[in-house]
Amino acid sequence: MNWLKTLLIGTFGCLLSLSVSAKLVIAIDPGHGGRDPGAIGKSLNIKEKDVTLAISRELKALLDKDPNFKAVMTRSGDYFIQLPNRTEIARKHRANFLVSIHADSSPASNNLKGASVWVLSNRRASDELGKWLEDREKQSELLGGAGSVLSNNNERYLNQTVLDLQFSHAQRVGYELGKSVLASLGNVGAIAKRTPQHASLSVLRSPDIPSILVETGFLSNADEEHKLATAAYRKKVARAIYQGLVNYHKKNSGTLGTGSPKVAEVKPKATPKKDEPKQAAEKTSKSAKTADKTKAGDKTSTKDKPKANEKATAKDSKSEKASPASNASHHVVQQDETVYSIARMYKTTPDKLSQLNNLKDYKIRTGQKLKVR
């Protein structure tokens, strides 16, 4: 099964490393609409659905003028769209990112103000991953060509590995994009939360499209409601979101803006022709090893040593991942790991890990020491 795993991860890497010469497709989702007005301002009675649509139209106009972007909208008028359908529209247009526009409100206080950005929580990601694992059709939708291989494959672990890669990637990219947009919004008005916040929101649930939800301000705050009621301020907010997307794209130029170095490392295996002469040398080397295993290490050429080291490293890495599952009581979180992937490594469940470590919403950080027993 190793060749299949390599093929799938390699395919996944290729999908992530598309050239920046292609336009980035941004799906803009104006929150609410139609029979669902969203929040309603306490001073001017303006509706969230109207504010979000106006900002979304301004954002689309800015993106469409930029040769690096193409914008699509989940709704272009005052009508209601079910939440799951919003991500389906984004997927249909092969969106690279989804940006959902909203306006906040607080029933408790009229003094709360400022913009914020929200991204998918680990708990929701784990829940969604479980659902996608049970849905073969969704797997094919998610992974394209690799999905069709997965759908005909009985190895559930392999399915989990590839899907977990995609979930981790979408979460990480969504958070980085959120930081960029939030920094740009800080130049326009107040900020309610200085870092992207994690939430279990339906519109953020798509594992194949990094998604953020932007709260543009509080309609329950009279000052912010008056600002959001003006076309001039809405244009400023739209430009700030646009600038956040531009800044993220510039910072991550060289890939789709969503580079994944761990996946990219698999790519060299996709060039077998160059290795053909080496294969003959390896056969000769194997014969020598059969004759005298002790001297084989000394006779290995300098060229072959890195390959031997790579194989040894790969073996060590496998044993490192396998051995903790049997006897370790703690695990140090590595980059891009999720509660779900760690639970699978130790043959336990995300809920048990969460209870053992008092995790809130399955949130973990790189370097954190977790109990696994």
Alpha-carbon torsion, ordered 361, 167, 264, 90, to 10 deg: -130
Region of poorest pLDDT, from 45-59, 105-119, 232-246, 323-337? 323-337
Provide mean pLDDT across the span 49-72: 98
Supply the pLDDT for residue 103: 95
Percent of the chain with pLDDT over 90: 39
**CA-closest candidate to residue 233, choices 179, 180, 184, 189:** 189
Mind listing the pLDDT tens digit for each residue in 307-316? 444 444 444 4
Supply the pLDDT for residue 200: 73
Judged against a pLDDT cut of 70, whether residue 19 lies above it is answered with no
| 102 against 156, higher pLDDT | 102
pTM tops 0.75, yes or no: no
Provide mean pLDDT across the span 142-158: 46
Mind listing the pLDDT tens digit for each residue in 126-138? 454 445 444 444 4
Q: Which CATH class is domain 24-253?
A: alpha beta
Provide mean pLDDT across the span 141-169: 53
Mind listing the pLDDT tens digit for each residue in 138-148? 444 444 444 44
Where are the domains positioned within the chain? 24-253, 330-371
Q: Say if 24-253 and 330-371 have the same CATH topology.
A: no
Region of poorest pLDDT, from 113-122, 202-211, 219-228? 202-211
Helix extents (H) in the chain = 2-16, 48-65, 83-92, 122-134, 136-143, 145-151, 156-185, 222-228, 231-251, 261-264, 276-291, 293-299, 304-322, 324-327, 339-345, 350-357
Supply the pLDDT for residue 162: 60
Q: What secondary structure letter does DSSP report for 284? A: H
DSSP secondary structure letters along 78-141 = S----HHHHHHHHHHTT-SEEEEEEEE--SS-S----BEEEEE-HHHHHHHHHHHHH-HHHHHH
Provide mean pLDDT across the span 265-278: 43
Judged against a pLDDT cut of 80, whether residue 325 lies above it is answered with no
Q: Which CATH class is domain 330-371?
A: alpha beta
Supply the pLDDT for residue 2: 52
